[in-house]
A and B are shown apart, each in its own frame.
Chain A
Amino acid sequence: GAGVSQSPSNKVTEKGKDVELRCDPISGHTALYWYRQSLGQGLEFLIYFQGNSAPDKSGLPSDRFSAERTGGSVSTLTIQRTQQEDSAVYLCASSLGQGGRRETQYFGPGTRLLVL
């Protein structure tokens, strides 16, 4: 079956512009996650959605970052007024959403964002 897909694969923008990154999770997965991978750094948790529960936004680095998930499926991560330090690879993952000991995350290919 299809894996997690993300678009665009690459995005170049100018400082101060807004960007939207999209994630399509694996069909049937109710949990969706966003991470940021900066050069030389590990994966930094940003936010996750689980079913109809309120998302865990504890990893969002500033109020310029927001994410939504429509219809329990597709998610969009929005970065407003981009800064050069936002340049990174943004990874999306999804999992079944059963919780407890059954959660294995499957990752998409990422969106490489470059802010000039």
Chain B
Amino acid sequence: AQSVSQHNHHVILSEAASLELGCNYSYGGTVNLFWYVQYPGQHLQLLLKYFSGDPLVKGIKGFEAEFIKSKFSFNLRKPSVQWSDTAEYFCAVNPLNTGGFKTIFGAGTRLFVKA
């Protein structure tokens, strides 16, 4: 079955530390890739997305992610986190053989940034 694995369930960092959240998926075909973020008390919102082209994509708030096709990975990075980045982060995959509609989400990674 298709799945999305996020390597860490909880991450605790100090402000200014660098962040990398891992995401791997098990699907061999063409995919759309997403990272969503859910800040405390807010609803899920799009952080960044990869459809095609440059495998390094930049999103809001200084986040970026790199699609490595050979590794089936789409890791999220930020060079210097802030307290306001405390949130839950979800990686998601649309296999395009479903028309790009059906989305599989990872279990999420809770990030806590210490001020």
Which of A's residues lie within 8 Å of B, judged by CB?
A: 31, 33, 35, 41-45, 48, 50, 56, 58, 91, 93, 95, 99-110
Q: Report chain A residues within 8 Å CB of B49.
A: 104
Q: Report chain B residues within 8 Å CB of A107.
A: 36, 43-45
Could you tell me the distance between the alpha carbons of A108 and B43 in the complex, rounded to whole angstroms?
7
Could you tell me the distance between the alpha carbons of A43 and B91 in the complex, rounded to whole angstroms?
10
**Which among B11-19, B57-65, B71-79, B95-103 touches the partner chain?**
B95-103
Q: Are A101 and B52 in contact (CB under 8 A)?
A: yes
Which of B's residues lie within 8 Å of A, judged by CB?
A: 4, 6, 32, 34, 36, 43-46, 49, 51-52, 90, 92, 94, 96, 98-108
Other-chain contact of B44, A45, A91, A104 (Cβ < 8 Å): A91
Q: Report chain B residues within 8 Å CB of A99.
A: 99-101
Other-chain contact of A109, B36, B43, B98 (Cβ < 8 Å): B43
| A104-B96 in contact given A42-B106, A45-B102 (Cβ < 8 Å) | no
Q: Report chain B residues within 8 Å CB of A110.
A: 43
Q: A42-B6, A42-B107 are in contact. List 9 more A-B contacts (CB 8 A).
A: A33-B101, A42-B105, A56-B102, A99-B99, A100-B96, A101-B51, A103-B32, A103-B100, A108-B43
Q: Are B45 and A105 in contact (CB under 8 A)?
A: no
